[in-house]
Amino acid sequence: MKSIKDTQRANVRFGFDGHVYKRFAGPMAAERFGNETKVLRYLEAKGCSFVPRLVAACDKSLELVMTHCGTEAPMISPERLDALFLSLEREFGVKHDDAFARNVTYNHRTGGFNVIDFEYAVIVETGEGFTISDEESSRSVSGPN
């Protein structure tokens, strides 16, 4: 497998089977894993076509297996970036709490942009989710990890 990202918070690898493997680590890993799992399942049920599909989720190892959505898109225009995240919220009811170009990929096969990385996101209709503020609040209550 080819490593795409290896940080204190997550290890992301691209498998030879064409899937993306994401293992959560660090502060609040279980909460972030659970949130990304829930949000991806919700978006699939809503028919959102510009996010990865969840192939498998292992609660024990905190690892997700997802479909591959393309390559990084750091040069996406600010207008297109805003429109993509706004569409996610208005059409599919998910507010991404880390709405930056680092969480957008471009799929050369489909010719479209995709949103990734839903560990910080909220399902608008239920209010369920996990945000960066939630994690920061937890840290300030429990102290540094």
Check whether 3 has a pLDDT greater than 70.
yes
pLDDT at residue 144 in the model: 53
Amino acid at 104: V
Q: Residue 70: what are its φ and ψ, rounded to 5°?
A: 115, -165
* Cα 17 to Cα 20, 66, 76, 83, 132, distances in angstroms: 9, 11, 28, 32, 32
Amino acid at 30: A
pLDDT at residue 53 in the model: 98
pLDDT at residue 141 in the model: 62
Mean pLDDT of 64-85: 96
Please state the domain extents for the chain.
Answer: 2-139
- 19: which residues sit within 8 A by CB, 6+ positions away? 55, 65, 66, 67, 68
Band of pLDDT at residue 142, cut at 50, 70 and 90: low
Q: What percent of the chain has pLDDT over 70?
A: 97
Band of pLDDT at residue 16, cut at 50, 70 and 90: very high
User: In the block, which residue shows the tokens 């030879």?
Assistant: 16
Band of pLDDT at residue 56, cut at 50, 70 and 90: very high
- Alpha-carbon span 124 to 128, nearest angstrom: 7
Q: How many degrees, rounded to 5, is the angle at CA 48 between CA 46 and CA 52?
A: 120
> DSSP 3-state assignment of 18?
coil
Question: 2-139 in CATH: which number?
Answer: 1.10.510.10
pLDDT at residue 5 in the model: 87
pLDDT at residue 4 in the model: 84
* 8 Å CB contact between 64 and 37: yes
Check whether 91 has a pLDDT greater than 60.
yes
Band of pLDDT at residue 38, cut at 50, 70 and 90: very high
H or E stretch including 45? Answer: helix 29-46
